[in-house]
Structure 1
Amino acid sequence: MVAQSLSSLLGRASIDDHEEVIQSCNEALAKSKSDINAQYIKAIALLKLDRYEEALRVLETGDSALKQQASLEYAYALYKCSRLEEALVAVTQSNGGRGAGHLEAQVSYRAEHFRRAAEIYEKLSQDKESHRHEENDLSINSWATDAQLQWKGESEYVRHDRPSREDLESFETAYNAACLNIAKGAFAQGEVLLSRAKNICQTSEELSSEDRAAELLPISVQHLYVLIKQGKTEQAESLLKEISVEDIPELSTKRVARNNIVLAQQTAVNPYILYKSLHETPEAVDADRLFGFQDNALTGNSHAADLLVQKYDGMIRSTVKGLSKFPCPSTEASANLLSVYNAAGHAEGQTGPKALKQILPLLERRPKDLGLLLTVVQLYVDAGNTTSAITAVERSLRALEESISEADQDARFNPGLLSVLVSLYQTEGRKLQIRSTLAQAASYWRTKPEAPTSLLRAAAKSLLYSDSPSDLATAGDLFKSLYQKDSSDRIATAGYVASQATLDYSQVESHIDQLPAINDLVADIDISALESAGIAPSASSAAHAAALASARKRSAADKEKPATKRIRKSRLPKDFDSAKKPDPERWLPLRDRSSYRPKGKKGKQRAADRTQGGPVSEKQEPAAQQQQSASGGGSNAKKNKKKGKR
C-alpha cells in the first residue's frame, strides 16, 4: 500500500505541481503519521517551493530514520534557515557524495570558513570526469572564495592569480576576479575587470531584462567603490545615476550601496546629514547578513558618524552591548573595533594626553581588552612615549598569563599582539627581550595543532643570532618542524642547515643538496653593473671613508686660499699649545714689544729717551757718540795690531 501510494506520488510529481505533491503527502500522512516516504517527499516539495522553515519542521518532527534518509536535504534546510554550524555537522555526516561536497563548500563559504571552502572546491575540480558540466560553477565559486580569503587577510591560501581567457568569457567569473584584485588593492585592474563584467552582462542573451538589471546592480555598486578609492569623483557621480537603491532586494547589498553613495555625494560637510543617511537602511540578518569585513567597515563608518554628531553616551552604550556578545579577551576584529570606538566615546573627541587620561582608567579595569590595549599603545606611540607603551602591553600580558583559561593563553601568545610588542622592542633596541618573547611563544605554539607558521619562523630566525647552543638547538627543532610540515619551504630548510651546521654537520649534510646552488642564485646578477654602481657601505665604513676623503682632498673654495705651511714639531717649543693664538710680536726683541715694561729708575729713563717724538737731551748725545767711537776704535786697534813680543 505504501509502495503504491509512493508510486502514485512520484507519477504526479513534476516541476510545476509541487503544491499537489504536498497535498497528496498530507492525505497520506493523515492516514499514517509515521509514513517516512510521504514525509520525505513532502520535505523535498517544500524545499523546491523555497519554504525552507516548513521543510525543516517536517524533517525535525520525524524520527532519526527520516533524518538519515534525508540527510542531505536536512543539511540544506538548515543552511537556508541560517543555522550554519548545525548544517555543517549534518552535511559532514551525510552520504550525499559529490552533492554533499558542493553543499559543504557553500555552507563553509557562508559561515566564513573560506579555507575549508577553497579546499573542497580544489578537490572537486581535480575530478576531471565528474566536473565537466560543473566547470563554470566551480570556477566562479573558487574565484569568489579566493577573494574572500584575500579580504580576510589570509592571502597565503589564495590559489588564483590572473584570470584566463575562459574566465573572462563569463561575467560572474570576471566580477569575482575583479573582487580579488580590489581586495589586493589593485583598483585599476579591478576597474578594468568590472567594466568587462558589465559589458558581458549587458550583452548576454541568456538573461532576461529583469535578471540583467538584478545582476548589474551589485557590479555597479562595486564599481562605485573602486571609483571612490581612486578619487575619480566625476565618474562616481555619473555612475550614481545608474544605481537605484530602492530597487535592490537584498538588504546587505542595499546597505553597502547606500554607504558608497553617501560617501560619493560628499555629504560629510554636514555631519547630521551624513549620520541620517548612514542609518536609513536597517541591518541585514540571517542569510542576508554582511560578511565580517563588510560589517566591520560599515560599523566603523556608523560609529564615526556618531562621533561627528557627538553622540558619545549612545555610542558607549551600543559598543558595551556589542562587546557583551564576545568573550574577553577576544582576538576577533569586530570585537576589537567595538573596543576602539568605546574608548573614543569615553575620550569625547579628545586626542593625545587628554584622551589617555580618560582611557587609562578603563584599561586598569579591563586589562584583557585587547582592542582597548592597542588603542592606548597607539596613543603612547603617537606621543613618542614607547616605554610607556611597552609597559602597558607587558602589564596586560601578565594579566593573561596568570589566568588558567586556555582562551586567555591563546590570546597571550597571539601572533598579532606579540608582533606589536616585538616592534616596540625593536624601536628601543631590546634584542634580548625580542628573543625571549619569541622563544616563549614558540614553545607554547609548538604543542598546538594549528601553530602559526609566521610566528614559529620569526622565533627560529631570532634564535639563530644567539650564541647559546640550547637556543641554536631550539631554532633547529623549529626549522625542522616547519620543514616537515612543508618540504618545499626553502627558508625552513636553510634555517635548519644554518642552525645545525655548527653543532652537528652530519645531521644537515643530506639537506644541503636541497638548497639552490650559489650560481643559480646569482645567475641574473650583472656584476659589471654592480661594480660601476658601487656597493653601499655600512654606516661606520662610510664615516671612515668620508674622513679620509676630507683629509686628502680640499674643496674648490679651499683651493682658492693659500696653503698653510706645515711646521715640524722639532721647530716648535716644548710648551706649544695649538689651541692658543701665538703672539704676533714674538719675533721682536723684548724691549721693542708693546708689552715691555722696564724695571728701575735708569730703565724707565732709557725707555723715555727712546720714545718717538719725546725730548732729546743734548748733554748725553756726545757721550753716546764717544762711547760708540771708543768701542769701534778699540775693535779696529785690536785687529791692526801686529803679533810679536811686547
Structure 2
Amino acid sequence: MATDLTTLLKRTQITDHDEILKTANNILKQKKNDPDAQHAKIVALLNLDRFDDAVHVFESSDKDLKEKARLEWAYALYKTGRAREAIDVARVADGEAGRGYKHVEAQAAYRTEDFARSVELYRGLVANAEGDAEADLRINSSAVDALLEWNLRGELVDVGRKKVGRGDLEAFESAYNAACCCLARGELAQGEMLLKRARALCEGAEELSGEKKRAEVVPILGQMVYVLLRLGRREEAGRIAREIESMGEEVVVDLNTRQIVQVNGMVAGEAQRNPYLAQRVLGHGGETMAKEKPFAFQEAVLKQNRYALELQMGKFDGLAGSVALILSKETAPTLDAYYNHLSVFNAAARAKAQTGKEALKHMLPAMEKRPKDVGLLLTIAQLFVMTGDSSTATTMLEKFLELLEQTGSATELDVRFAPGLIGIMVSLYQSAGRRGSALNELAKAAQHWRRKMQEDSIAMSMGVVNLLKAAGSLMLESEEAEHAELAAELFKDLYERDDSDKYAAAGMLAASPQTATNEQSQSLQSIDRLISTIDIDALENGGIAQPTATTVAVTRKRPAASNDTPKPAKRPRKARLPKDYDPDKRPDPERWLPLRDRSTYRPKGKKGKARREALSQGAVAQGSAAENARPATPSAGVVQGKGSGGGGGGANKKKKGKR
C-alpha cells in the first residue's frame, strides 16, 4: 500500500475507537503483518475494553509486536487476569520513560497481593507525579493502603496516611478507599461517615452517566451494609440490601464485587435464617469465583461462611474430615488467622456444635494430638472460662507458652509472644488478681519484640505497637527500677517510630522527665488547657460521687457526732400486724411453736393415725408403724448388727405360691 497507517490517520479526524479499529482491519487485510496497523488495532481494542481480543492479536503475531508495544502487552495481560506475566513484561529500567511500566507493574503486584512491592512503586510514582496523574496515582495508592489494612499489615502504610485528610474527601474513589482503611482498623463510625460522603460525591459526579453512577455506587452500598451489620443496625442494613437488589445484578460488572454484595445482602435479609437457602446463594457465587479469584482475605471469609452453614445443617462428620485434611498440610503453631479459624471449625464439628462440658469431652483428646494448635487451644480456653473455670484456662495457656518457649525456634517464639496471646494471658492474670504475673508477661514480650526489631530491622505491626504501649503503661506503675527503665526505652522506641504519637510522648515524659526535650513537652497539651473547661465550683458543690454496689463494695462509717450537733429524734417504728388481727381476740399461746409440736396438731390419714398412736405416751408401735417409729437411744451394751444372730427375722413373712 502506498500510504501507511500513520499517514492515513494524519489526514483524517478519527476520534472513535471503533472507526480506528475498522480502518486498521482494512489495512491488515491488504498487508497482514503491518506493525503500525497491528499497534493501532491493539490500542483501539484496549480502549474498547476488549482485552481478550488484544491478547489474541499479540499471541498470533510475531515477537517484534510484543517488543514494540510492550506497555500495551503488559496492560492486556493484567486486565485478563494474568498478573504475574504482566509483572515480568512490565519490569524495565528505571527512568521517566518507564513510568507507564511502573504503573502497570504496581497494579499487577496489587492484584497478586505483593503489597510491599506495590507500595514501593506507588510511592515513587506519587513523589514525581505531575498534573492530573497525581490524583489518579493517589487514588490507586490509597487502594493499596486499604488492602494492607484488611490483611493486617498496616505497618507498611505511612503513618501520615492513616489520618483522613482533605484530599480524601474530594473524589468518591478516595473517600471510598479511606472508608475501607477505617473499617479495616475497626473505626466503624468514621467509616460510615466516609461511605456516605463517597455516595454523595458519586451521585453528584457530572462526568458519569446514570448507568456508570449505579455501577460505582453499588460497591459503596455493599460496604455500607457491612458497616451497619457490624454496628447492629440490621433493619437499616436490610433496607440498603433491598435497594441494591432492586438495581439488578447486571449493574455490577465485577464478579467479585457482585458476590460480596450478595453475601452481605443475604446476611442482612431473611435468607440467613435458612441455612439451606443461604448455602444455595453461596454455591451460586462460587461459580463466579472460579472466573475472577478474590483476594485471600475475602476468599477466607467466604469459606468460613460455608463452614458455618454446614455446622447449622448438621454436616459434622464431613466438615471435620475436610477441615482436618487442610490442617494436616500446615505446620503448627501458626499465627495465620485462616488456619486458626479452621481449627475452631474442626473442634466445633467434632463436638457436634455443643458447648460447655460436653464440648470439652470431645476437644481435650484432640488437644493431646495437636498440642501446638493455637486455634484449638483458644477454643478450649474459652469454653473453660464460659463454664466458670478460669484457673484451668490459665494453666493450659501457661503450659502452652512454656512449651513454645522451650523449643527456642524463631518462628515458635514469635507465636509465643504474639500480641493476641499475650493479651489473653494478661487478661486472665488480672481477672485472678495476679498483677505481678501480668507485669512479668508483658515485660518478657516487650523485650522479645525490641530485640527482634533491632536484630532484623523489621517494621512494627499495630499489634506490637499496642503491646508495647500497654507494657510501658503498666511498667510505670511498678516500683522496681528495672521496670521503670524498660518503660522509658519502650516509649523512646515508639516516639522514634512516630514523633506525632502523643501517647508515646506522654509516656517518655512520665518515664524520664529529666531527659524529655522541649519539643516533646510542647507536643502535649498543657494542664491549664485541659482543665480550662472544668467548673471546679460545680464539682465541689456536687460532692464526691459514690460508686454503685455493683461496681465495688464500699464500707461507709458514720461520722462521729460532735457535742454541738443535736442528735436527731428517733422516729417511732411502725407496728406490723396481720391483716386479720383482732385486738379483742386472745392470741394462741402456742403460735411460736412449730405446727407438729402444738397440742392441736392432728396427723391425717392411716399413717398419720398410726404415727399419732406411736408418739402417744405409753403406746407401743405395732406392724408397719413399728418400722416407721423413731428408734430409741441405744444403751451402753452391745448393739447387734447384721448377721449377729438371733431368729425371728422371717416370722411375719408370707409364703409364696398358690393358696
TM-score range, shorter chain: 0.5 to 0.7
Alpha-carbon shift at residue 310 of structure 1 (Å): 0.8
Q: Distance in 1 between matches of 2:560 and 2:294?
A: 66
Aligned residue in 2 for 1:371:
375
CA distance in 2: counterparts of 1:85 and 1:416, whole angstroms: 34
**AA partner of residue 282 (structure 1):** G
Distance 1:410 1:88 in 2: 32
Query: Aligned residue for 2:398?
Result: 394
- Select the structure with the greater relative contact order (CA < 8 A; seq sep ≥ 6): 2
Alpha-carbon contact 1:251-1:283 (below 8 Å) kept: no
Give a deviation string over 1:82-134, Cα, whole Å, max 9, x none: 5667866886774264335533543454344667756765664454xx43112
Match of 1:546 in 2: 556
Match of 1:469 among 467, 473, 481: 481
**Cα offset for 1:351?**
0.9
Q: Which stretch shifts more, 477-486 or 319-328?
A: 319-328
Partner residue in 2 for 1:630: none
Partners of 2:55 and 2:73 within 8 A in 1: no
The amino acid across from 1:137 in the alignment is D
Native 8 Å contact 2:202 2:213 kept in 1: no
Residues of 1 paired with 2:174 and 2:321: CA distance? Answer: 43
Q: In the TM superposition, what are the counterparts of 1:273-288 in structure 2 within 5 Å?
A: 273-282=277-286, 288=292
Q: 1:223 to 1:428 in 2, by over 3 A?
A: closer
Counterpart of 1:358 (choices 341, 356, 362) is 362
Q: Once the two structures are superposed, what CA deviation does each residue of 1:440-497 show, in whole Å capped at 9, x if it has no partner?
A: 2222222332243222333333333333333333333333333333333343344344
Counterpart pick for 2:188 among 185, 190, 201:
185
Correspondence for 1:303 among 296, 303, 307: 307
CA separation in 2, counterparts of 1:221 and 1:330? 32
Determine the C-alpha separation between the residues in 2 that align with 1:382 and 1:426.
17
Tell me: CA distance 1:557–1:531, structure 2 relative to 1, closer, same or farther (3 Å): closer
Letter of the 1:532 counterpart:
N
Please list, as runs of the form range in 1=range in 2, the aligned pairs for 1:604-623 lying within 5 A after superposition: none
Residue identity matched to 1:433: S
RMSD (Å), alpha carbons:
4.9
Shift of 1:226: 5.6
Name the residue aligned to 2:140: 141
In structure 2, list runs of 5 or more residues that go unmatched. Answer: 574-659
1:19/1:346 CA distance change after superposition, 3 Å: farther
Q: Following the alignment from structure 2 to structure 1, what is the Cα–Cα distance between the partners of residues 519 and 288?
A: 55
- Structure 1: distance between partners of 2:111 and 2:290: 10
Q: Does residue 231 in structure 1 map to residue 234 in structure 2?
A: yes
Structure 1 unaligned spans of 5+: 1-6, 30-36, 563-646
Distance apart, 1:510 and its partner CA: 7.0
| AA in 2 matched with 1:453 | V
- Residue 99 of structure 1 is matched in structure 2 by 100
The 3 A distance-change label for structure 1 pair 538 and 254 is closer
2:388 alignment counterpart:
384
Q: Is the Cα contact below 8 Å between 2:347 and 2:376 reproduced in 1?
A: yes
Quickly say closer, same or farther: Cα 1:512–1:210, change in 2 above 3 A: closer
CA distance in 1, matches of 2:28, 2:335: 48
Q: Establish whether residue 495 from structure 1 lines up as the match of residue 507 from structure 2.
A: yes
| Alpha-carbon separation, structure 2, partners of 1:227 and 1:468 | 47
Partners of 2:26 and 2:406 lie apart in 1 by 65
Count of aligned pairs: 536
8 Å CA contact 1:377–1:389 kept in 2: the answer is: yes
Structure 1 distance, partners of 2:542, 2:145, is 42
Q: 1:115 to 1:526 in 2, by over 3 A?
A: farther
The 8 Å contact of residues 328 and 368 in structure 1, kept in 2 or not, is answered as: yes
Distance in 1 between residues matched to 2:135 and 2:404, nearest whole Å: 49
1:519 counterpart residue number = 528
* Alpha-carbon contact 2:367-2:377 (below 8 Å) kept: yes
**8 Å contact from structure 2 (residues 475, 484) kept in 1:** yes
2:571 to 560, 569, 573: 560
Amino acid at match of 1:522: I
Asked whether the 8 Å contact 1:442–1:456 carries over to 2, the reply is: yes
Change (3 A) 1:326 1:523: farther
**Structure 1 or 2: more helix by fraction:** 1
TM-score (norm 1): 0.67
1:314 aligned onto 2:318: yes
The separation in 2 between residues aligned to 1:167 and 1:509, in whole angstroms, is 34
Q: How is 1:62-461 mapped onto 2 (pairs within 5 angstroms)?
A: 79-80=78-79, 94-95=93-94, 97-112=98-113, 121=122, 124-127=125-128, 130-149=129-148, 151-152=150-151, 157=157, 159=161, 164=166, 170-173=171-174, 175-176=176-177, 179=180, 184-186=187-189, 189=193, 192-193=196-197, 195-197=199-201, 199-200=203-204, 204=206, 206-207=208-209, 211-212=212-213, 214-222=215-223, 225=226, 230-232=233-235, 235-236=239-240, 238-239=242-243, 241-245=245-249, 248-282=252-286, 288-324=292-328, 326-446=330-450, 447-448=452-453, 449-450=457-458, 451=460, 452-461=464-473
Q: CA deviation at 1:57?
A: 7.6
SS of 1:560 mapped into structure 2? coil
Q: Which amino acid aligns with 2:378?
A: L
- Describe the superposition over 1:584-623 as per-residue Cα deviations: whole angstroms up to 9, x where unpaired: xxxxxxxxxxxxxxxxxxxxxxxxxxxxxxxxxxxxxxxx
Distance 2:120 2:502 in 1: 24
Post-superposition CA distance 1:206-250 (Å, at most 9, x none): 43x664554454445445556666222673475255243366443
* Secondary structure of 2:360's aligned partner: helix
Contact 1:494 1:515 in 2 (8 A): no
- Structure 1 residues 85 and 459, CA, compared in 2 at 3 Å: closer, same or farther? farther
TM-score, scaled to structure 2:
0.66
Query: Percent same amino acid at aligned positions?
Result: 35
CA displacement at 1:418 relative to structure 2 = 1.4
